[in-house]
Amino acid sequence: MLTADIATYEVAPTAEQTGSVVWMHGLGASNHDFDDVVPLLDAPGVRFIFPAAPTRAVTINGGMRMPAWYDILAFEDPPRREDAEGARDSERLLRGVLERELARGVPSTKIALVGFSQGGAMALHVGTRFEQALAGVGVLSGYLILPAHFAAERHAANQQTPILFCHGINDPTVPLQLGRRAYDTVNAAGYPAAWHTFPMGHSMCMPEVDVLRDWLGTCGLRG
């Protein structure tokens, strides 16, 4: 399926629909990466939508082309870390996915954005800028991109939207301090944010799935 120039894979609800979750994968990954997680979330009324990132050259990987929401220019902190133009292009694509859900009759307050790693960074980027209140934003092993623009670009519509941060304490790919810095920034800005850590690397674990499942219920998406 193509939506606003982006391919998506969907898992349809098996009960009366209670909402939608738009879930972004990480760098170089697939939009089928979390197929096995969906049944564990016990959310039969949720439509899960998995967009596929565009294929682009990634500087830190020697210019190799792979699915990426934006180019990562360096491992250092901003301003050199991420390609702003690529991030904004992906923001436009993901807005298209959200707009399609709205057009399908799903209220914005029944739509959550979730992402892992680079996808988590995009969930946070789009969710805090979207002009309609969302059910929640889930940042799994993610971080804050374009931090210098956060204060000026965030939209008041999602000031009260719950934001979940989950991170592995042994993450070698997205260091724990990057995730914590994102949480601290969002928390200081007054968002209702929650921070959870797990004894894992750059991955997911069952205790994290349990937290995510409960959080979806708190967001009103599990009926």
Residues of the chain falling short of pLDDT 50: 1-3
Report the C-alpha gap between 212 and 220 in whole angstroms. 13
Predicted confidence at residue 116, as pLDDT, reads 98
pTM value surpassing 0.85: yes
Q: Which residues are marked as active site? A: 117, 171, 202
Predicted confidence at residue 75, as pLDDT, reads 76
pLDDT digits (tens, 9 = 90+) for 7-18: 999 999 999 999
Predicted confidence at residue 221, as pLDDT, reads 96
Residue 217's Cβ-side half-sphere holds a number of Cα atoms within 13 Å equal to 7
**Are the C-beta atoms of residues 174 and 60 closer than 8 Å to each other?**
no
Predicted confidence at residue 2, as pLDDT, reads 39
pLDDT digits (tens, 9 = 90+) for 83-107: 999 999 999 999 999 999 999 999 9
What angle is formed at CA 139 by the lines to CA 147 and CA 80, rounded to 5 degrees?
30
Predicted confidence at residue 81, as pLDDT, reads 81
User: Domains (ranges, CATH) in the chain?
Assistant: 2-218 (3.40.50.1820)
